[in-house]
C-alpha cells in the first residue's frame, strides 16, 4: 500500500491535472448486503484505482449473486473481503477503461450441513467507467461494466469436491455492472 501511495504522490507532482474520486458501489449493499469503497487518482490521461469490498453475502436475496450450480448445491458464499487495484486510460474526461487485478476471499458453507471450506480467487480483467456529475462539485455517479475472469484460485484444479461427490467450481466474477456514487475532489 505504501508503494502505491508513493507512486500516486510522484505522479501528482508531474501531472498538469489531477483529481481524486471517492465512490461506493450500490450493488454491494443492495444485492449482497455488504460494502465497498473505491479511491481513484486521475491525471490528465491516466487513472489509478484501489477498491476494497467487505462482508459480501452472495447468498443474500435467495442467492442472487451465486451461480445456478452453487444454489442447486445449497451453498452459501460469503466474502469477508474483495480487494485490488487497477490502472486505466481516460478516453475522455468522463469515460475511462481500466485493467484491474482483484483478490476475492470466499467462505463457503453448505446449508443444513456442517460442511464448509474457504478459498481465494484472483482475477484480472477490464472495466469501462463513465463519470456523471449532475450537479458540479457535488454528487458523482459512476456506472460501470466490468469483466473479471479468474486467473487462478487456491483450490486444487480450481474446484472443491463436496462430501456427496458434487463439484464446486471456484466462483468466477465474470461480467457484471454496478453504479457507484460519491464525490470528486
Q: What is the pLDDT of residues 35-79, one digit of tens each?
A: 999 999 999 999 999 999 999 999 999 999 999 999 999 999 999
Residue 169 in grid coordinates: 467450481
Looking at the domain that runs over 22-184, which CATH code has it been given?
Answer: 2.40.160
C-alpha 29/C-alpha 179 separation (Å) is 12
Q: What is the mean pLDDT of residues 152-156?
A: 98
In this prediction, what percent of the chain has a pLDDT beyond 90? 87
Q: What is the pLDDT of residues 21-40, one digit of tens each?
A: 999 999 999 999 999 999 99
C-alpha 74/C-alpha 51 separation (Å) is 30
Domain residue spans of the chain = 22-184
Instruction: Assign 2 a pLDDT band (cuts: 50, 70, 90).
Output: low
Q: What is the mean pLDDT of residues 130-142?
A: 90
- Answering whether pTM is above 0.85, one says yes
Amino acid at each position: 500500500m505504501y508503494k502505491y501511495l508513493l507512486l500516486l504522490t510522484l505522479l501528482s507532482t508531474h501531472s498538469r491535472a489531477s483529481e481524486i474520486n471517492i465512490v461506493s458501489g450500490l450493488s454491494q449493499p443492495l444485492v449482497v448486503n455488504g460494502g465497498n469503497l473505491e479511491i481513484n487518482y486521475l491525471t490528465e490521461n491516466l487513472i489509478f484505482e484501489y477498491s476494497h469490498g467487505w462482508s459480501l453475502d452472495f447468498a443474500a436475496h435467495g442467492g442472487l449473486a451465486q451461480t445456478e450450480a452453487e444454489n442447486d448445491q445449497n451453498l452459501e458464499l460469503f466474502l469477508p473481503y474483495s480487494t485490488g487495484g487497477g490502472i486505466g486510460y481516460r478516453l475522455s474526461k468522463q469515460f475511462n477503461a481500466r485493467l484491474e487485478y482483484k483478490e476475492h476471499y470466499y467462505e463457503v458453507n453448505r446449508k443444513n450441513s456442517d460442511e464448509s471450506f474457504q478459498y481465494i480467487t484472483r482475477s484480472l480483467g477490464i472495466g469501462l467507467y463513465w463519470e456523471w456529475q449532475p450537479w458540479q462539485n457535488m454528487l458523482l455517479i459512476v456506472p460501470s461494466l466490468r469483466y473479471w475472469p479468474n486467473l487462478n484460485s487456491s483450490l486444487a484444479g480450481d474446484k472443491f469436491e463436496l462430501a456427496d461427490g458434487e463439484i464446486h467450481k471456484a466462483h468466477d466474477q465474470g461480467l457484471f455492472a454496478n453504479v457507484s456514487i460519491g464525490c470528486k475532489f
